[in-house]
Amino acid sequence: MFTRFLKSLFFACFFVLLVFTATANDGYKLWLQYAPFETHTEAHYYHEYLSDISLVGQSPTHEVISKEFQLATEGFFKGSLTPRIDSSGNGKIWVGKISDLPVKISRSFKDQLEKIGDQGYLLLYVSGQVIVTAKKDVGLLYGTFALLKAIQTRERLDELDRLENPKIQTRMLNHWDNLNRTVERGYAGFSIWNWHRLPNHIDKQYIDYARANASLGINATSITNVNANALVLTPIYLEKAAAIADAFRPYGIKLYLTARFSAPMELDKLPTADPLDPAVQAWWKDKAKEIYEYIPDFGGFVVKADSEGQPGPHNYGRTQADGANLLAEALQPFGGLVMWRAFVYSENTPTDRTKQAYDEFKPLDGKFLDNVIVQVKNGPLDFQPREPFHPLFGAMPETPLMMEFQITKEYLGQDTHWVNLASLWKEVLQADTYAKGQGSTISKVLDGSLHGYKHTAITGVANIGTDRNWTGHPTAQADWYSYGRLAWDPHTDIGQIAEDWLKMTFTTDATFVSTAKNIMLKSHSIAVDYMTPLGLHHIMARSHHWGPGPWVTGGRRDDWTATYYHRASEDGIGFDRTSAGSNALEQYNPAVQKQWQDLESTSLDYLLWFHRVPWDKELSSGNTLWMEMALRYQRGVEGARWMQAEWDSIEGKIDEERFGHIRSFLKIQVSEAEWWRDACLLYFQQFAQQPLPEGVEAPEKDLEYYMGFRRFFVPGI
């Protein structure tokens, strides 16, 4: 009786505390908010488990797990509960390796336990206990985060029975961070890697970064820009990098660095960087050995070569395989990998830029050493709002390919637009390459099941910076989150991902979650409508890539202009990539070609990517091309306004700070959507020579205004 009274008193105090403290939130805690329970019943239910935890075994990762439980419990109960974490084995939550399980359990669940891979885990409710078990420490950490997620999303624990193994071995982030702390295409402040203070100072943010990544199963990170500086391979920097690697190790995260191909010349004055030169080969071997002395579990190199001014094997008349194999051979004795990017193209090559990577790499299939993975962007151009999938996927059965997504929104509104990238990625992951008949999806290329790849990997270009909330736009945290979830399992439903993220990040309130989820799931197609509808691409402003620039023409490189891609004239618009044009289409499997070769049956979403279409052409929608384009731009603007109204409708459901932040960014988004629509329609109207269809709002300014519009110091270049 008395204990019941005490318990009620405890929860009553807890809720009084909650009411007075729920207004400010700067978003730093990401989806690991561990926000206080919202009802008495919830608090009561989870209290029983979280107050009594057994953590069996010892390792640096166990310490991390213990701290995470403490942090979570503190958050859930506003500091009023300190969990008892012991190794007795009697706790309501039991965390430990398979080898430490009580015999009774390991016998009864033998079949399930055998299915747990090196990075997997099992969550199971057995006779009053929640068991988190795994083969290795890292699996225990992943399992712990999965359990905490179950609590954050208010799952019942007495129904838990979840066996998870990641589908892709290496799940990585690529930072495009420079050593001077600027971030290429970064819109959330400066680089979080404070090289100047390393190796002695390990910023708390590195640890929180590791926690956030581990909570998603991200197990690798490359912390330097692919437009690489060779300095990072010198002892001064290797010592600093080693300190970061040490900090990440308990979280199961391996460190990678970018390798500048000309490093032997820049650092040690070798006369050449020719991959077939024995002195160059010896240099890389020594360098690899040196790196492993600093970082014994170093992941390997990420390399951008022969692209946008970066040095590479082409400088010596060698192939991409020669270049990649040079580094692979050096790393091979230590088990390191080379992630060699396929983003190779040149203004001196006369073919359509979107064809060049395939032309270059396809003939090299099978010629790479077996610790090389070729890293391919999702589309053949460059992270546009929407692109067809890259034709290399499905075309390299003998060479492991990994996906490179861009989490930072270079072409999708940068830091101020709410665009849920999971929708874009899902379109790509589900795309069918037909490499081995119907159902040969990109997910199956990546998880290795289609071609039996020895190595499987995926990466995302990070959107992380020193902004207090990490990503600039509070909703851009969802992109980091969703990327991690899809990297773990590319088959995951993106609606589920959105829902989990919203509940963990903001609140479990049902109206909030369903309204915000709806915004998220529609946001990508809305942005495509107001930026690049109908398969338009590369029509953004020059250099900083912020805002519209369909008029961009001339200059140093034709393949960096807008007119190269849209080719608008009075006759029509679009890039003919069929056999009558550049024939980029031929790089796809015949079954895929069929979907896109005929103008009449090509999905309108890809129309102008593959076809050149007269303005008066009547489309499957019943509209002429011009009308359809104008209506889609208008629809995009209306979509952005709808997002704004929907967001306003859930005011009061979450803290004012993040609510207001998103609200003010939505204002920017709406006005920039109008800017895109007005600028593009006015520009294209010169060629279409027709009035705007009914329902499309007239632009506020004239074309000259938009073309003359200059912005200075746009971030991210």
Q: Which single residue is written with the structure tokens 């336990």? A: 113
Distance, CA of 69 to CA of 132 (rounded, Å): 13
184, 239, 246, 657: which one binds ligand GCW (CB under 6 A)? 184
Which of 27, 716 has the CB closer to ligand GCW? Answer: 716
Which of 95, 419 has the CB closer to ligand GCW? Answer: 419
Does 305 interact with ligand GCW (rule: CB under 6 A)?
Answer: no
274, 329, 382, 678: which one binds ligand GCW (CB under 6 A)? 382
CA angle in degrees (0–180, nearest 5) for 187-190-192: 115
Q: Record the tokens describing residue 420, joined without a space.
A: 């849920």
Instruction: Output the smallest distance, CB 393 to ligand GCW, in A.
Output: 17
Instruction: Output the smallest distance, CB 666 to ligand GCW, in A.
Output: 26
Closest CA to 497 of 50, 231, 149, 135: 149
145, 343, 512, 530: which one binds ligand GCW (CB under 6 A)? 343
- Positive or negative, the CA dihedral 686, 689, 695, 700 is positive
Which of 125, 560 has the CB closer to ligand GCW? Answer: 560
122, 124, 173, 226: which one binds ligand GCW (CB under 6 A)? 226
Contacts of ligand GCW in 243-302 (CB under 6 A): none
Instruction: Output the smallest distance, CB 688 to ligand GCW, in A.
Output: 29
Burial of 288 (C-beta count, 10 Å sphere; 0-12/13-18/19+): buried
Does 349 interact with ligand GCW (rule: CB under 6 A)?
Answer: no
Instruction: Output the smallest distance, CB 227 to ligand GCW, in A.
Output: 5
Does 176 interact with ligand GCW (rule: CB under 6 A)?
Answer: yes
| In the complex, residue closest to ligand GCW by CB | 382
Contacts of ligand GCW in 407-426 (CB under 6 A): 410
Instruction: Output the smallest distance, CB 539 to ligand GCW, in A.
Output: 15
29, 304, 355, 632: which one binds ligand GCW (CB under 6 A)? 304
29, 185, 485, 577: which one binds ligand GCW (CB under 6 A)? 185
Which of 354, 602 has the CB closer to ligand GCW? Answer: 354
How many other CB atoms sit within 10 Å of the CB of residue 196?
10
Which helix or strand (DSSP H or E) is residue 301 part of?
strand 300-303
Number of residues that bind ligand GCW (CB under 6 A): 11
Q: Record the tokens describing residue 689, joined without a space.
A: 């020579």
- Give backbone dihedrals phi and psi of 133, rounded to 5 degrees, phi first: -135, 160
Which of 226, 429 has the CB closer to ligand GCW? Answer: 226
Nearest-10 Cα torsion for 482, 483, 489, 490: 100
Distance, CA of 566 to CA of 535 (rounded, Å): 10
Q: Are 574 and 590 in contact (CB under 8 A)?
A: no
Distance, CA of 442 to CA of 151 (rounded, Å): 33
Distance, CA of 384 to CA of 407 (rounded, Å): 12
Binding mask 601-640 for ligand GCW (x = CB under 6 A): ----------------------------------------
Which of 228, 682 has the CB closer to ligand GCW? Answer: 228
Q: Are 400 and 457 in contact (CB under 8 A)?
A: yes
Instruction: Output the smallest distance, CB 22 to ligand GCW, in A.
Output: 40
Closest CA to 183 of 459, 471, 416, 464: 464
The secondary structure of 199-240 as a DSSP string is TT---HHHHHHHHHHHHHT--EEE-S-SS--GGGGSHHHHHH
Instruction: Output the smallest distance, CB 179 to ligand GCW, in A.
Output: 14
How many other CB atoms sit within 10 Å of the CB of residue 24?
9
Bridge partners of 258? 302
**Cα atoms in the Cβ-side hemisphere of radius 13 Å centred on 197:** 10
Which of 378, 507 has the CB closer to ligand GCW? Answer: 378
Binding mask 126-165 for ligand GCW (x = CB under 6 A): ----------------------------------------
Which of 304, 451 has the CB closer to ligand GCW? Answer: 304
Does 538 interact with ligand GCW (rule: CB under 6 A)?
Answer: no
Say how many Å lie between the first and final Cα of the chain, rounded. Answer: 66
Which of 65, 457 has the CB closer to ligand GCW? Answer: 457
Which helix or strand (DSSP H or E) is residue 632 part of?
helix 625-648
Residue type, 579: S
- Positive or negative, the CA dihedral 469, 471, 472, 478 is negative
Q: Tell me if residue 485 falls in helix, strand or coil.
A: helix
Which of 122, 192 has the CB closer to ligand GCW? Answer: 192
What b-and-e string marks burial along 378-393, b requiring 16 or more CB atoms within 10 Å of the CB? bbbbbbbbbbbbbbbb
Look up residue 35 and give its DSSP letter.
P
Residue length, the chain?
717
Does 227 interact with ligand GCW (rule: CB under 6 A)?
Answer: yes
Instruction: Output the smallest distance, CB 343 to ligand GCW, in A.
Output: 5
Instruction: Output the smallest distance, CB 445 to ligand GCW, in A.
Output: 20
Burial of 447 (C-beta count, 10 Å sphere; 0-12/13-18/19+): buried
**Cα atoms in the Cβ-side hemisphere of radius 13 Å centred on 713:** 2
Which of 304, 390 has the CB closer to ligand GCW? Answer: 304
Closest CA to 177 of 146, 131, 209: 209
> What residues are annotated to the active site?
308, 382, 410
Instruction: Output the smallest distance, CB 462 to ligand GCW, in A.
Output: 12
Instruction: Output the smallest distance, CB 440 to ligand GCW, in A.
Output: 26
Binding site for ligand GCW (CB under 6 A): 176, 184-185, 226-227, 304, 308, 343, 382-383, 410
